[in-house]
């Protein structure tokens, strides 16, 4: 599909027919060519990166004019709804010393405040092949906790703490699209249902018992301007063995940088991002219905039809099927 990259400078060149996998840095160069800048300043390059990200955000939304209604519409791309697996269960292990009874110090950062109330197992604590179980009563730091044993001491012994039931979700997690469930490899496991974080916390307050989790909650973890919002999954009961959870989620995307990075979505969507960026440059020139805007509209509608063909009507949200762009 052709792309109008302009002819404002001697360095302007149209995209090659097989030029389907462009990095963000190359796309920025194409936008600079379109603007007629053979030697762009840093400020101009930064502006082109902004225009590219404007186009990227538009393409990610699947923004288009519905040909059946003439109104603005959006599309949820199939490739932004991946299926993932989360391994839960398994103990945290390490080495710890109790020089002063009642305080355990690990050699590495293995402790977490959510471990309070769990039982820590100390292997061969007395040198006579005797294991010791102690409850963690307080959290001081990632290497120091207090325990309910004010008698025994030991030096550099192997320890293990069962799962806390708390697991980080992917960095670009944007919410569940369907309920979590046990993976087929975890055969024989019970059903698991979503509840509120408050219910999970109340159950933990009552008992941090081990077993097969039958409830989970999705919980916001942290937000920073540098990394964005992060989420966790909390489980109850605490998993007593290694298990695998399957889930489908909405995949968010970070802005592109002027580097050797590729947009999500594969070669066809890569092409759409480029023309969306070029259309954004046209808009900056007060050209609302330019060549690249026309190319964008044709490309996005064709890709929506292809994306629809990748999954059945039963898998697609009803509002997408009724959007007027059925394959």
- pLDDT tens column, 85-112: 999 998 999 999 999 999 999 999 999 9
What is the reported pTM? 0.77
Cβ(219)–Cβ(232) below 8 Å? yes
**What average pLDDT does the structure give for the chain?**
87
Whether 218 maps to a domain, the answer reads yes
User: DSSP labels for 213-226?
Assistant: --EEEEEEEEEETT
pLDDT of residue 324: 40
- pLDDT tens column, 65-74: 998 888 999 9
pLDDT of residue 311: 66
* DSSP code of residue 78: G
Q: Coil, strand, or helix at residue 180?
A: strand
Same domain, 180 and 204: yes
Final residue of a structural domain among 161, 176, 193: 161
pLDDT more than 90, % of the chain: 69
Cβ(139)–Cβ(120) below 8 Å? no
Whether 7 maps to a domain, the answer reads no
Same domain, 246 and 176: yes
Tell whether the model's pLDDT for residue 183 goes beyond 80: yes
Tell whether the model's pLDDT for residue 128 goes beyond 60: yes
Same domain, 189 and 242: yes
Structural domain range at position 45: 24-65+72-77+265-321
- pLDDT tens column, 165-179: 999 999 999 999 999
CA–CA dist 127, 4 (Å, integer): 77
Count how many domains the chain has.
3
- pLDDT tens column, 15-65: 443 466 789 999 999 999 999 999 999 999 999 999 999 999 999 999 999
């Amino acid at each position: 599909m052709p792309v109008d990259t302009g002819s404002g400078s001697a360095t302007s060149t149209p995209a090659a027919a097989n030029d389907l996998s462009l990095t963000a840095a190359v796309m920025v160069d194409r936008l600079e060519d379109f603007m007629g800048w053979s030697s762009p300043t840093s400020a101009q390059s930064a502006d082109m990166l902004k225009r590219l990200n404007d186009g990227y955000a538009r393409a990610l939304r699947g923004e288009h004019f519905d040909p059946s209604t003439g109104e603005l519409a959006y599309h949820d791309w199939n490739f932004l709804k991946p299926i993932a697996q989360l391994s839960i269960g398994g103990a945290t292990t390490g080495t710890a010393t109790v020089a002063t009874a009642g305080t355990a110090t690990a050699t590495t950062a293995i402790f977490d405040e959510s471990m309070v109330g769990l039982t820590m197992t100390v292997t061969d604590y007395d040198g006579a092949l005797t294991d010791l179980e102690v409850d963690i009563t307080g959290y001081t730091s990632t290497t120091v906790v207090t325990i309910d044993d004010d008698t025994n001491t030991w030096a550099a012994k192997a320890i293990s703490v069962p799962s806390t039931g708390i697991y980080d979700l992917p960095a670009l997690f944007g919410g569940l699209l369907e309920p979590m469930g046990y993976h087929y490899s975890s055969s024989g496991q019970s059903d698991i249902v979503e509840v509120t974080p408050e219910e999970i916390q109340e159950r933990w307050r009552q008992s941090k018992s081990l077993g097969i989790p039958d409830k989970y909650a999705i919980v916001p973890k942290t937000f920073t301007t540098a990394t964005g919002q992060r989420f966790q999954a909390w489980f109850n009961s605490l998993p007593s063995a290694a298990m695998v959870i399957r889930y489908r989620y909405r995949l968010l995307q970070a802005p592109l940088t002027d580097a050797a990075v590729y947009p999500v979505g594969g070669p066809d969507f890569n092409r759409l991002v480029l023309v969306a960026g070029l259309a954004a440059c046209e808009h900056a020139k007060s050209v609302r219905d330019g060549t690249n805007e026309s190319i964008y509209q044709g490309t996005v509608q064709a890709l929506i039809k292809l994306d629809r063909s990748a999954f059945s009507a039963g898998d697609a949200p009803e509002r997408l099927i009724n959007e007027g762009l059925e394959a």
